[in-house]
Structure 1
Amino acid sequence: MVKKILIIIFLLNSSFIYAQTIKTDILVIGGGASGTAAAIQGARSKLKTLLVEPGPWLGGSMTAGGMCVVEGNRNLPSGIWGEFRKHVRDFYKPRLGYDSTYNAVLRFEPYTGAAILKKITDTVKNLTVKLNTPWTAIEKDGTGWQVSIMVNNKSTTIKAKVVIDATETGDVAAKAGEAFVSGFDSALDTGEGLAPKEALPRVQDITWIAIVKDFGKTANKTIIKPEDYDAANYACLKGKDIAKMLNDGRLPNDKYMIKWAGCGNQYPTTADDLKPANRNAFYAKARLHTLGLVYYLQTELGFKNLGIDDEFPTPDHLPFIPYIREASRAKGLVRMTLNDVYDPYNQALKLYRTSIAVGDASPGQHYGEGTAPKTNYPSFTAYSVPLGAIVLKDLDNLLVTEKAMSVSHLVNASSMYPSVQMSIGQGAGATAAFCAFFKTTTKKLNVRIIQGELLDFKAWLLPFTDIKQSDPYFRSIQQVGATGLLKGVQQVNGNSAELLFMPDSIVNTAEVEPFFKEIYSRAFLWFNREKPAEKFTQGNLLSFISEITLTEPKALQISMQKAWKTQYKFTSDFDMNRPVTRREFAVLTNKFLNPFARTVDVTGRMLN
């Protein structure tokens, strides 16, 4: 009898343990910009995906942090970021005065942004989202991971094939044993000409943003004087054009985002301040500093009509989290530096070939005066983010986004931007899906399969701003661009620079000959025999295609002449003697030669 009772107890305990264990293909920890995008992409790639977020909202810095005036990537509406952007614009478009042009700065109320993201995730099959769900532990489980989360104050175990650390500060990777670096890298270490000679452990300051609302000229919304308030902390604001500063952060419905540098609500930060053990005490001080700014704005600068909006259900109505620009960075399979931004085609590692995301956010420099060297960035150009920057070198099947990525300090100043991170998150989701679907690890990634999946879901690999997604040959041009066969051209526009494909310009033989010779053995014979002139012609291209594909030249010419305007919709006349345009070249080489199919490793080196 006792034996039977013991067996029953054992079985009950076993079923209880089983009920507390959840198995999933992909676990995303952190529902910020990157985490939400990663979870959406993982699930859309038909892998079972679980997203856990300790707070009540999705969106991270953009929503829960109040950073809801988004300038970066407005010329690069890649994938899920472009989808979110369109939803926001469509929501506000009926509002009088809302700027919904193609590349306008995106402005939205934080709650609305969070609601839109939640609505998108609610429509995605294979995706489960758990808000208000903290995680407590992580440990290796075979090739995957075992993570403990708290659901209704009870511990639940998640067994995942792949984990994405999408926390703002890389907490998951740190708990798993990853070593981090922080602050300025030395020029000797990164090879960046703009980096200081010596490394400097200084990270960018955080900002606890405030969302205020204009309640009318006669209103008095003055808050209670904050603890330890000192008006001298904000005195540099006197004499400044406050109306303009407010207008820069204008939001719909008479609201304003206050994110002011200098003696505003920027708050001095160290990497240690952001560690879990120190975080809460540090955050409390930063919140008080922002409340002091609002009080100063109301009492010293005369804006009593501006009150903290009740958008956030926190005791002081400030955002749930601060806007964190920088924390500590992990060691990835590769490290992205400024050299990969400004001169991607002439680096030893061709990391642009492995791109999983695009960015163009202007790099910020938010430090207390005199506490860090000023970096004189040249006009900052749009760039590609390499796959290896999100893949940890020493921990399999654990990917990192946000500020934990393997980039230099000077690159993080741009890559940390929320809209860039949403693009990166989609890349991380596709990477995790690859590992889970093929039952493999991050040591055996296939760059081209991951990139192909991203293109299937309207993501950009190269930041060609002159080739819109509506272009019928968007994918062809993206694929050819990712090989380096045709390289982008940087065009400076003030403090920024676009990367252009220039589809109507002419292809030069010197541009394509090295690549052809690198991947096609018969190319040496063809160039020696044909000796094409400086400008590569339509006839040259068809002849080369014939050589590589072993197609009869005359038959290829006849079929191409028939299809030139009907099938391919080229606007120029078919003329074997005319120089071929970059669009024509990209479309035809992609179709007949498919250079994108040539395998590359995570450093961008051609294989096979």
Structure 2
Amino acid sequence: MIKKLLFLFLIYFTHSAYADTIKTDVLVIGGSASGTAAAIQCARSKVKTLLVEPGPWLGGTMTAGGMCVLTANSDMPGGIWGEFRKKVMQFYSKVPGYDTTANAALRFEPFTGASILKKLTDTVKNLTVRMNTNWTNVKKDGTGWEVSILLAEKLTTVKAQVLVDATEFGDVVAKAGAIMTSGTEGRGDTGEKLAPENATNIIRDITWPLIVKDYGAAADRTIAKPAGYDPSLYTCLKAADVKRILAEGRLPNDKFLLNTCANTYHVYPDDLSPDKREDYFKTFRERTLGLLYYVQTTLKYKNLGVDDEFNTPDNLPYIPYVREYRHVKGQVRMVLDDILKPYNRESKLYRTSIGVSDAAPDITSAGIAYPPFPAFSIPMGAVIVKDMDNLLVTEKAISVTHLANAGTCDPAVQMVLGQGAGTVAAYCAFFKTTTQKLNVRIIQGELLDFKGYLLPLSDIKFTDPDFRAIQQVAATGLLESIPVPTADHRVKLCFAPDSAVRTSEVKPVLNEIYTRGFLWFNKFKPGEYFTVDNLMNLVSDITLSDPKTLETTLRNQWKTVYKFKDDYNPNRPATRREFAVLTNKYLNPFARRVDIAGRLLN
């Protein structure tokens, strides 16, 4: 009898242990903008994915945090970010006055944005989403990870080959034991000329966005005076153009996002530590309610009030917009010069890009004299935790400096970056390998398959028939991006496909990639401009193909197959489009492997 009971107990115990363990290829913790995109990409790349979000909404700061006016990357609406943009615009297409211009700022009600993301995840195979689910512990499990989550109030173990920390604070990688740094790095550490001489504990301010609704001129939505209300906290708005602020934050259905000096708060890293942040957040919520009262009374906008969009006691967003807290030590660290002069550095991080950004430093960077800020690529190594296999990180904890963070913390940028991190995670899971053995070009190729950008070329959309060829050649550095200053202190990067190719711009990289390049330049000695004939001869020489046969083929296919705009003329300078398309097809420079720092591998 005892043996029988023991046998039944063992069966029950084994069954219970099995039921309390979930196995998945990739576990993403955090349904932030980047976490949602990462999970979607992993699943679409055919690996089993679990997304765990502690809160009730997907989207992080751009939905649950109310930061719902997105201006970044509007010229580069590719991949999952472009998909989200399109669905938002379709949803509001019949709302009077809604701007559906292709590159307009994206404006949406937070609840609507979260709903669109949830519907998007519901359509993806291989993806399971668990909302209102907390995690409690994380530890290494061979080359994979083991994480404890509270599933239906029951402690459950998740075993994953790859773990992605997409939380707003980098809490998962910190718990896993990754090296983290906070504050502003010193000039001697990063080599950044704009960095202070010595490191400081200064990080970017946080904002508790305020979403208000116009209930009509006759309405009085004035709230009771908040406890501890101090009007002096909001005097920075006295000299502000409130109508302009409302116009900039206009949302559909008579709502507005208030993201101002009066609800942006200074913090230090220690204030955001897990044991202190909730107390600070309570203070900031109270001050943000005070801002609402100030707007209604002192500024005489009593018709503006909050509605019940957020299911919180005070009707404020669930979470704040945190621009920065701490950064992980990654396989590489992106510094400001990787943004300002990517081609003039020993490392070529742009060659390893998995995301793009055209976001410029915001008001919280006012104390730093940034030069006009160019669009840039975000390197793969910035999301890979150093010396910890198969642990990735997104959001504000990626491996960048304080100065570079100004261009990476934007929610639209994070959605783009999340898709890139998802391709890395999917690669490791699909090929059953680790983050120490990545093939950069295969991962980037997967990203291109799903309409992602490698280089932030605003004049070459993913709908361009030559998009992939141009992106791949640009990612080698053969043809550098062309900076175009804008009126808002930013710099767009363009490809200028119809401009002529100069020999001086392609010669260094051709010699770097091809061993026969040096011999070819000595033999043919092209002039200032690289002609169509030069291009044909280069292809013939490197591929060891017959030049006459190649010329005949190109002449016949110039308009019919390649659909080039200009007629075939061997004596004129080749355009950048022609050069990119033909070198990509015949020479395939993108196939030349690079390491995580962008250096060519033999």
Q: TM-score range by the shorter chain?
A: over 0.9
The C-alpha deviation readout for 1:381-422, integer Å capped at 9, x for no partner, is: 000000000001121111011111000101111201000000
Partner residue, 1:370: none
**Residue range with higher mean Cα deviation, 543-552 or 27-36:** 543-552
Secondary structure at the counterpart of residue 565 of structure 1: coil
Tell me how far apart the structure 2 counterparts of residues 109 and 187 of structure 1 sit (CA, whole Å).
41
Secondary structure at the counterpart of residue 26 of structure 1: strand
Letter in 2 for 1:313: N
Partner residue, 1:284: 282
Tell me how far apart the structure 2 counterparts of residues 7 and 229 of structure 1 sit (CA, whole Å).
67
The C-alpha deviation readout for 1:94-138, integer Å capped at 9, x for no partner, is: 111111101111110000000110111111100001110011100
How far did residue 531 of structure 1 move? 1.3
- Verify: 1:484 aligned to 2:484, yes or no: no
Letter in 1 for 2:330: G
How far did residue 546 of structure 1 move? 0.7
Tell me how far apart the structure 1 counterparts of residues 423 and 238 of structure 2 sit (CA, whole Å).
49
Letter in 1 for 2:280: F
How far did residue 235 of structure 1 move? 2.5
- Verify: 1:571 aligned to 2:565, yes or no: yes
Tell me how far apart the structure 2 counterparts of residues 204 and 181 of structure 1 sit (CA, whole Å).
14
Letter in 2 for 1:348: E
- Verify: 1:530 aligned to 2:530, yes or no: no
Partner residue, 2:601: 607
Partner residue, 2:148: 148
CA contact (8 A) 1:365 1:413 kept: no
Tell me how far apart the structure 1 counterparts of residues 313 and 518 of structure 2 sit (CA, whole Å).
72
Partner residue, 2:312: 314
Tell me how far apart the structure 1 counterparts of residues 392 and 78 of structure 2 sit (CA, whole Å).
21
1:454 pairs with one of 443, 447, 457: 447
CA contact (8 A) 1:76 1:465 kept: yes
How far did residue 237 of structure 1 move? 2.0
Letter in 2 for 1:293: L
Tell me how far apart the structure 2 counterparts of residues 258 and 598 of structure 1 sit (CA, whole Å).
48
Shift in CA distance, 576/239, structure 1 to aligned 2, threshold 3 Å: closer
Secondary structure at the counterpart of residue 288 of structure 2: helix
Letter in 2 for 1:10: L
Tell me how far apart the structure 1 counterparts of residues 582 and 240 of structure 2 sit (CA, whole Å).
57
How far did residue 9 of structure 1 move? 0.3
How far did residue 275 of structure 1 move? 1.4
Letter in 1 for 2:2: V
- Verify: 1:274 aligned to 2:267, yes or no: no
User: Where do residues 15-30 of structure 1 align in structure 2 (5 Å cutoff)?
Assistant: 15-30=15-30
For structure 1, the residue ranges without an aligned partner over 5 or more in a row are: 368-372
Q: Percent identity?
A: 60
Scaled by the length of structure 1, what TM-score is found? Answer: 0.98
How far did residue 212 of structure 1 move? 0.7
Tell me how far apart the structure 2 counterparts of residues 544 and 237 of structure 1 sit (CA, whole Å).
63
**Residue range with higher mean Cα deviation, 129-138 or 234-243:** 234-243
Partner residue, 2:90: 90
Scaled by the length of structure 2, what TM-score is found? Answer: 0.99
Secondary structure at the counterpart of residue 362 of structure 1: coil
Tell me how far apart the structure 2 counterparts of residues 240 and 311 of structure 1 sit (CA, whole Å).
27
Partner residue, 2:496: 502
Letter in 2 for 1:466: D
The C-alpha deviation readout for 1:526-551, integer Å capped at 9, x for no partner, is: 22211111111111111111111111
User: Where do residues 33-432 of structure 1 align in structure 2 (5 Å cutoff)?
Assistant: 33-261=33-261, 264-366=262-364, 374-432=367-425
The C-alpha deviation readout for 1:456-515, integer Å capped at 9, x for no partner, is: 000000001111111100000000000001111111113000111111111111211221
Shift in CA distance, 238/533, structure 1 to aligned 2, threshold 3 Å: closer
How far did residue 21 of structure 1 move? 0.4
Partner residue, 1:515: 509
Tell me how far apart the structure 2 counterparts of residues 200 and 501 of structure 1 sit (CA, whole Å).
39
Tell me how far apart the structure 1 counterparts of residues 289 and 519 of structure 2 sit (CA, whole Å).
73
The C-alpha deviation readout for 1:69-104, integer Å capped at 9, x for no partner, is: 111111121211111011111111111111110111
Tell me how far apart the structure 2 counterparts of residues 326 and 391 of structure 1 sit (CA, whole Å).
18
Secondary structure at the counterpart of residue 442 of structure 1: coil
CA contact (8 A) 1:67 1:209 kept: yes
The C-alpha deviation readout for 1:179-207, integer Å capped at 9, x for no partner, is: 21111111111111111111110111111
Tell me how far apart the structure 2 counterparts of residues 240 and 18 of structure 1 sit (CA, whole Å).
61
The C-alpha deviation readout for 1:251-277, integer Å capped at 9, x for no partner, is: 00000111111xx11122111121111
Tell me how far apart the structure 1 counterparts of residues 329 and 363 of structure 2 sit (CA, whole Å).
23
1:589 pairs with one of 583, 586, 598: 583
Tell me how far apart the structure 2 counterparts of residues 240 and 25 of structure 1 sit (CA, whole Å).
51
Tell me how far apart the structure 1 counterparts of residues 334 and 191 of structure 2 sit (CA, whole Å).
11
Shift in CA distance, 239/483, structure 1 to aligned 2, threshold 3 Å: closer
2:545 pairs with one of 525, 548, 551: 551
The C-alpha deviation readout for 1:141-177, integer Å capped at 9, x for no partner, is: 0100000011111111100000000000100000001
RMSD after superposition: 1.0
For structure 2, the residue ranges without an aligned partner over 5 or more in a row are: none
Tell me how far apart the structure 2 counterparts of residues 550 and 234 of structure 1 sit (CA, whole Å).
72
Runs of 4 or more, structure 1, over 4 Å off, are none
How far did residue 209 of structure 1 move? 1.1
1:437 pairs with one of 415, 418, 430: 430
**Residue range with higher mean Cα deviation, 277-286 or 583-592:** 277-286
How far did residue 333 of structure 1 move? 0.6
**Residue range with higher mean Cα deviation, 68-77 or 579-588:** 68-77
